[in-house]
Amino acid sequence: MCDHDHSQSVSQEEAEAAVRTLIRWAGDNPDREGLLDTPKRVTKSYRELFQGYHSDPREYLERTFEEVGGYDELVVLKDIRFVSHCEHHMLPVIGRAHVAYLPTNRVVGISKLARVVQGFGRRLQIQEKMTAEIANTIMDVLQPHGVGVVIEAEHSCMTMRGVNLPNSTLITSCLLGTVREDARTREEFMRLVRN
């Protein structure tokens, strides 16, 4: 469990009242037939979209496998689709994460890497912070020789409001250990995620 338990500080009724207030603020009537159940639906979807606050992504990496048969090359999981929300506008950030690590003497199930991405993504985020959180968590828990994380995402706060730039993509990276320090390993990682 994460160190914050937000569900205890605000009741379901308070959350639904806030949605009704926003509907009124936007200029509509929350008592209109089509909107009667909207507060309940919105809070239900927010519970799912922000479930990252109710888990600790580090826990996904705790079960490892030491029988690796001498494998000592990069482990790369590409194209992990995620949906996050910009902490500045609470609008969707939709993207793909590419995660790699150079194991020491143990590996983790690949679905766990995807769960780490989802765990940090299902929070209010900025992409730069999310990229670093994923990389640092993998480095801290697995203690590999190195970690590489690249995230490519489209930010709705840029594409559907403000500067209105559809199809613009933000790319961030965090390279740690050997993936950062060794030019050949870094180039191999970048080549693998580009293909």
Active site residues: 86-89, 127, 155, 157
- C-alpha radius of gyration, the chain, whole number: 20
Distance of CA 119 to the CA centre of its chain: 6
- HSE at residue 109, side-chain half, CA atoms within 13 A, is 7
Which of these, 102, 73, 71, lies nearest to 181 by C-alpha position? 102
H or E element that contains 128 = helix 127-142
User: Phi and psi at residue 148, in whole multiples of 5°?
Assistant: -135, 135
Closest C-alpha to 59, from 100, 119, 144: 119
Query: Can you tell me the distance from the alpha carbon of 128 to that of 137, in angstroms, rounded to the nearest whole number?
Result: 14
**One-letter amino acid identity for 90?**
M
CA triple 127-133-139, angle to 5 deg: 140
Strand pairing category for 107-108 and 170-177 = unpaired
